C-alpha cells in the first residue's frame, strides 16, 4: 500500500533515494560494478571493426573528447528528422562509418560503449535542446508519460510524479529520472539500459512492452531528459 512521502520542488535524483551502501557503491569507481563495462568499452573504443577496419578512436580520437556528448542525448538526427539515443548513434556509426553490424540492444558491447561515452560527461548537467525540432517529440514523450495503460490502468506519472517519495510494498517510489543510464541495478545484478527499465515498468502494469528502438521509447527517454533538467549525468549509476 502507499504510505506518506515527500514531494520535491526540483528534480530529485534516485541517488538521493538510495541507501548509504548503494550510494557508497556508486561513489567509488573501484566498487561500482558498472565500471566493468567501462573497462570493456575502453577496449572496444580502439578495436578495429567492420569492412573499413576502423575503430571509434579512428574518427573521434581519445574517448575523453566525448565529454559533454551524453548530456545532449537523445539528440535530433537531421538525416531522419527524428530523435536518436546515444546507443542508436553508436550503432549508426558502426553501420555507416565502420561498415560493421549493429550491436544488439542490451548486448554487453553496446552497453559498454554507451557507458564509456556517457561516463565522460559524469557530473555535467543534462543539456537537451528543447527549443528546436525536438519539441514535438518531447511533447509525444510527455503524452506517453501521462497516458494510463495496461491492465492496471496506470501511467508513468501515476507512480513517478503523483506518488514519488511515497512507498509501495515497502519500496520507495523514485521520481523516475533517467540521468544515470546505462545503470547497474542490484535487482538485475547487471548493467542495463533505459529501454530495459521501461519494459520492466510496462510489464509491471501489465501493458505490452515496447521494443528497445521503438519511437515511443526514444520519445519518453527524450522527455525524461528534459524533465530531469537540473540534474547531472551519473552514469553508471547504481540503484537497488
Beta strands (DSSP E) in the chain are: 2-3, 75-77, 82-84, 167-168, 171-172, 183-185, 190-192, 238-239
How far, in Å, CA of 235 to CA of 240, rounded?
A: 15
Is 147 in contact with 141 (CB distance < 8 Å)?
Answer: no
User: Catalytic: 59?
Assistant: no
C-alpha cell at 67: 565529454
Q: What is the DSSP letter of 126?
A: P
How far, in Å, CA of 240 to CA of 232, rounded?
A: 19
Bridge partner list, 183? 192
**Residue length of the chain:** 240
Instruction: Select which of 59, 93, 156, 201 is catalytic.
Output: 201
How far, in Å, CA of 37 to CA of 190, rounded?
A: 10
β-pairing, 190-192 with 183-185?
antiparallel
Which residues have a Cβ under 8 Å from the Cβ of 224 and sit 6 or more positions away?
141, 145, 176, 177, 178, 194
How far, in Å, CA of 14 to CA of 176, rounded?
A: 7
Which positions are catalytic? 201
Amino acid at each position: 500500500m502507499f504510505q506518506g512521502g515527500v514531494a520535491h520542488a526540483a528534480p530529485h535524483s534516485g541517488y538521493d533515494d538510495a541507501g548509504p551502501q548503494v550510494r557508497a557503491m556508486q561513489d567509488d569507481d573501484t566498487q561500482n560494478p558498472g565500471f566493468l563495462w567501462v573497462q570493456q568499452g575502453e577496449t572496444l573504443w580502439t578495436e578495429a571493426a567492420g569492412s573499413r577496419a576502423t575503430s571509434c578512436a579512428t574518427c573521434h580520437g581519445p574517448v575523453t573528447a566525448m565529454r559533454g556528448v551524453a548530456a545532449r542525448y537523445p539528440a535530433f538526427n537531421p538525416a531522419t528528422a527524428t530523435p536518436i539515443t546515444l546507443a542508436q548513434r553508436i550503432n549508426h556509426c558502426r553501420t555507416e562509418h565502420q561498415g560493421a553490424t549493429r550491436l544488439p540492444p542490451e548486448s554487453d558491447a553496446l552497453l559498454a560503449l554507451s557507458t564509456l561515452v556517457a561516463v565522460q560527461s559524469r557530473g555535467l548537467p543534462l543539456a537537451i535542446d528543447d527549443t528546436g525540432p525536438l519539441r514535438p517529440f518531447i511533447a509525444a514523450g510527455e503524452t506517453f508519460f501521462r497516458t494510463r495503460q495496461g491492465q492496471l490502468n496506470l501511467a508513468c506519472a501515476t507512480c513517478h510524479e503523483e506518488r514519488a517519495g511515497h512507498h509501495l510494498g515497502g519500496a520507495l517510489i523514485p521520481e523516475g529520472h533517467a540521468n544515470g543510464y546505462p545503470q547497474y541495478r542490484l535487482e538485475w545484478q547487471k548493467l542495463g539500459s533505459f529501454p530495459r527499465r521501461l519494459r520492466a515498468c510496462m510489464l509491471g502494469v501489465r501493458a505490452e512492452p515496447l521494443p528497445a528502438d521503438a519511437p515511443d521509447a526514444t520519445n519518453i527517454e527524450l522527455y525524461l531528459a528534459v524533465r530531469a533538467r537540473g540534474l547531472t549525468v551519473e552514469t553508471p549509476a547504481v540503484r537497488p
